[in-house]
Chains A and B, each alone.
Chain A
C-alpha cells in the first residue's frame, strides 16, 4: 500500500530524514517509535505532502502511484488520512460542516458518527476552538471516520489524553483500522477481513495505544533513519528499560 524508498527530506534547510526505507502492505498496522526530534513527525508530514517538507531524494508510492510530488488534497483523495497532533482552530467553521466536508458522501450521518466518539455536543462549535487534548483527538477521529482513509497516519494518539478517553480513542482507532470485526449475518469474519484494506502508521511514545490495537510491526526512527525492526511490544519494553541510547550503538 505504501512504499517509501531512500527518502531524504529537508525542513528549513536542515537534513531531517536521511534515507528512509519503509513498506506497509495492506491490512498492516505499523508502529513508529523514536526519541523527540528524530524525524517521526517529519515522515508523516512528508507522506501527507505539506509545505516546508522538501523531498531532496527518494520517492513515495501509494497504491502503486508515485505521490512524491502530489498535492496534499490529491493524496487525501487517493486515501491517505492524517490525525493531526495539534490541529489548528478555524474560526467560523462548525465541526458539523467540517465533518461533512471530509466525507465524499453528501448524506453522511454526522450525528451518528459524532455520538460514537461522544462529540455530538461539539457539532455546532467552531472546529477545534477551545477543545481539550482528548476532545481534539476525538474530533480528529470523527473527521477520519467520515473521510474513510485507506491509510491512517496517527501522530501520537495518546498525547494529552486521560485514561478514560484513551479507551474510547483506542476503540475508535481500532475501528478505523477495520480491526474490530464481529460476527455478521451476511459475512463471516474471515470474509470481512478479506474485504478490509486499511493500514495504519502510528507514532507512539508511551505505547498505550498498543493495548487497543493489533500492531503488526514496529521500527525505531533515530536521527532520520529507521532501524531495529521488531514486534512493537518488544521495542517498547526494550526502550522503557534501556532508552534509545542503544540505538546509537546499533547503528554504528
Chain B
C-alpha cells in the first residue's frame, strides 16, 4: 500500500516543479552598466563563469558575448568571418531579422516564449560568413547577478553555406543569488554544407529556474552538434531542443551529460526530425542522480527513406533519486532505420571489483567508473573545447562524491 500512495504522490509533485510562476520574478529591471572587459568581474563571479566553460582571458576565442541580468555588457569579435551582435542591435541593423526572428520557435508555444516575445532583454546574434572556417570557439555567457532576476534572452545563430562555427555558452549565477529565472529562446540555422557545434554548460544554483526553448534546422550536407552539460544544482530546468534535418545528408548529434544532486529537478530531452533522405541523427544522454530527479526523453522521427537514427540513454542512480528515461522512435516511411539503447541502474559491482583487484579502494573505483561514464567522446570538437568540457566534468565529478 505504501508504494501505491507514493506513486500517487509522485506525479503531482513533479508537475508542480515543471510549472514556474513568472510573476514571482522581477522582469522589468534596469540595465546593467557595461563592462569593458570580462576581467573586471569579481574573483568569485569569474570562478562561477569558469565552471561554466567561459574563459575570461578570452585566449583562443573568436569572440565573446556577455549578458548580465537584463542587458548585454560585452560583445566583441576578434576573428575574421564571424559576426557577434547583441540581438537588439541586430534587429535594428537588419530590419528585424525577418528570415530568422521567431521563425523556428513559436512565440505562443507557452507562457515562457510569450514572455520573451513581449519583453526582450537581450541575447546574441552570431553569424558566419559564407565559407568561413572559424575554428576557435565564440564564447557567450548569460550571467545572473541580481537577486530574484527574471532574465529573458533570445539567441539567433546563422551558419552560412560551407562555413564552420563553434559556440560555447556558459550560464551561471552569482553566489549571492538564491532565486532567479532564466528564459532563453535559441534559433539555429545551419545552411548547406555548414557545420555548427553548440556546447552549453549550465552552472546555475539552488533556487534558479531555467526554461530554454530551442529549435534548429539543418540544410543539405550540414552538421549540427549539440552538447549540453548540467552537473550542478538547479531548482528546475526544463528543455527539449529540437532539430529538423531538412536537406539530404544532414547530420545532428546530441550529447547530454546531466547530474542531479538532492533538490535538483531536471526535465531535459532532445528531438531530431529526419525530413530528408540520407539524414542521420544520434542522441546520447548520460544521466546521474545523487538524490535529485531527471526526466530524460529522447525522440527521433523519420519522415524520409534511407535515414538512420540512434538513441542512447544511460542512467546511474548513485543515491536514491529518480531517473526516468523515455526513448521514443517514430518511423513513418519504409527505409527508416532507428534504434535505441536504454539502461538505468547502479554502478556494476563487477566493474568496481575489477578496479579493486588492480589496487584501487572502493570509493576510487566508483568515482573512476562514474567519470568514465560521464566522459562521452564527442567527435568534431576543437581540442581546446574538448579540454574545457573534460575539465568541467572532472571538477564537477570530484565535488560530487
Question: Among B162-170, B245-253, B347-355, which stretch is in contact with chain A?
Answer: B347-355
Q: Tell me whether A77 and B371 are in contact in the complex, defined as CB-CB below 8 angstroms, given that A51-B349, A90-B351 are known contacts.
A: no
- Contact-residue bracket for chain A: 20 to 34
Instruction: Give 16 A-B contacts (CB < 8 Å), ordered by A residue.
Output: A48-B357, A71-B362, A72-B353, A73-B357, A73-B365, A84-B354, A84-B357, A88-B348, A88-B351, A91-B373, A92-B372, A92-B373, A101-B360, A101-B368, A147-B358, A147-B359
How many A-B pairs fall under 8 Å by CB?
63
Residues facing B in A86-110 (CB within 8 A) are 87-88, 90-93, 98, 101-102, 104
Q: Tell me whether A77 and B354 are in contact in the complex, defined as CB-CB below 8 angstroms, given that A88-B348, A92-B374, A92-B376 are known contacts.
A: no
Tell me which of B351, B355, B359, B376 contacts A77 (CB under 8 A). Answer: B359
Closest chain A residue to B360, Cβ basis? A73
User: Which B residues lie within 8 Å of A73 (CB)?
Assistant: 356-357, 359-362, 365
Tell me which of A71, A88, A143 contacts B361 (CB under 8 A). Answer: A71
The answer to whether B359 and A71 have CB atoms under 8 Å apart is no
The answer to whether B372 and A126 have CB atoms under 8 Å apart is yes
User: Which B residues lie within 8 Å of A77 (CB)?
Assistant: 359
Check A161 for interface membership: any CB of B closer than 8 A.
no
What would 16 more interface pairs be, CB under 8 Å, given A72-B356, A72-B357, A76-B358? A51-B349, A72-B353, A76-B359, A77-B359, A84-B354, A87-B354, A88-B351, A90-B354, A90-B372, A92-B373, A93-B368, A93-B369, A98-B358, A101-B360, A143-B358, A147-B359
The answer to whether A91 and B354 have CB atoms under 8 Å apart is no
Tell me which of B353, B361, B373 contacts A50 (CB under 8 A). Answer: B353
In the complex, A84 Cα to B353 Cα: how many Å? 11
Closest chain A residue to B372, Cβ basis? A92
Closest chain A residue to B371, Cβ basis? A92
In the complex, A91 Cα to B365 Cα: how many Å? 13
Chain B facing A: main interface SS = helix
The answer to whether B349 and A101 have CB atoms under 8 Å apart is no
User: Which A residues lie within 8 Å of B28 (CB)?
Assistant: none
Closest chain A residue to B353, Cβ basis? A50
User: Which A residues lie within 8 Å of B372 (CB)?
Assistant: 90-93, 126
Tell me which of A82, A92, A104 contacts B357 (CB under 8 A). Answer: A82
B364 → chain A closest CB, angstroms = 8
In the complex, A90 Cα to B355 Cα: how many Å? 10
In the complex, A84 Cα to B359 Cα: how many Å? 15
Q: Tell me whether A71 and B356 are in contact in the complex, defined as CB-CB below 8 angstroms, given that A88-B350, A101-B368 are known contacts.
A: yes
In the complex, A247 Cα to B362 Cα: how many Å? 41
User: Which B residues lie within 8 Å of A72 (CB)?
Assistant: 353, 356-357
* Interface size counted on chain B using CB atoms at 8 A: 23
User: Which B residues lie within 8 Å of A71 (CB)?
Assistant: 356, 361-362
A103 → chain B closest CB, angstroms = 9
Q: Tell me whether A76 and B357 are in contact in the complex, defined as CB-CB below 8 angstroms, given that A88-B350, A92-B376 are known contacts.
A: yes
A51 → chain B closest CB, angstroms = 6
Q: Which of B348, B354, B365, B374 has the most CB of A within 10 A?
A: B354
User: Which A residues lie within 8 Å of B375 (CB)?
Assistant: 92
Tell me which of B353, B358, B361, B374 contacts A102 (CB under 8 A). Answer: B358
User: Which B residues lie within 8 Å of A90 (CB)?
Assistant: 351, 354-355, 368-369, 372
In the complex, A143 Cα to B360 Cα: how many Å? 13
Residues facing B in A64-91 (CB within 8 A) are 71-73, 76-77, 81-82, 84, 87-88, 90-91
Q: Which of B356, B375, B376 has the most CB of A within 10 A?
A: B356
B316 → chain A closest CB, angstroms = 11
Closest A-B pairs by Cβ, 7 of them: A92-B372, A93-B372, A72-B356, A76-B359, A92-B375, A73-B356, A102-B358
User: Which A residues lie within 8 Å of B360 (CB)?
Assistant: 73, 101
The answer to whether A101 and B351 have CB atoms under 8 Å apart is no
Q: Tell me whether A88 and B359 are in contact in the complex, defined as CB-CB below 8 angstroms, given that A51-B349, A126-B372 are known contacts.
A: no
Residues facing A in B223-262 (CB within 8 A) are none
B116 → chain A closest CB, angstroms = 37
In the complex, A104 Cα to B368 Cα: how many Å? 17
Closest chain A residue to B349, Cβ basis? A51
In the complex, A51 Cα to B371 Cα: how many Å? 23
Closest chain B residue to A98, Cβ basis? B358
In the complex, A161 Cα to B351 Cα: how many Å? 23
The answer to whether B355 and A101 have CB atoms under 8 Å apart is yes
In the complex, A61 Cα to B368 Cα: how many Å? 30
User: Which B residues lie within 8 Å of A126 (CB)?
Assistant: 372
The answer to whether B369 and A51 have CB atoms under 8 Å apart is no
Q: Tell me whether A88 and B373 are in contact in the complex, defined as CB-CB below 8 angstroms, given that A51-B349, A73-B359, A93-B368 are known contacts.
A: no
Residues facing B in A108-160 (CB within 8 A) are 126, 143, 147
Closest chain B residue to A92, Cβ basis? B372
B31 → chain A closest CB, angstroms = 44
In the complex, A87 Cα to B348 Cα: how many Å? 12
User: Which A residues lie within 8 Å of B359 (CB)?
Assistant: 73, 76-77, 101-102, 104, 147
The answer to whether A76 and B376 have CB atoms under 8 Å apart is no
Closest chain B residue to A87, Cβ basis? B354
In the complex, A106 Cα to B282 Cα: how many Å? 38
User: Which A residues lie within 8 Å of B374 (CB)?
Assistant: 92
Closest chain B residue to A72, Cβ basis? B356
A91 → chain B closest CB, angstroms = 6
User: Which B residues lie within 8 Å of A91 (CB)?
Assistant: 372-373
In the complex, A126 Cα to B361 Cα: how many Å? 21
Closest chain B residue to A126, Cβ basis? B372
Closest chain A residue to B376, Cβ basis? A92
A144 → chain B closest CB, angstroms = 9
In the complex, A239 Cα to B18 Cα: how many Å? 69
User: Which B residues lie within 8 Å of A104 (CB)?
Assistant: 359
User: Which A residues lie within 8 Å of B348 (CB)?
Assistant: 88
B400 → chain A closest CB, angstroms = 15
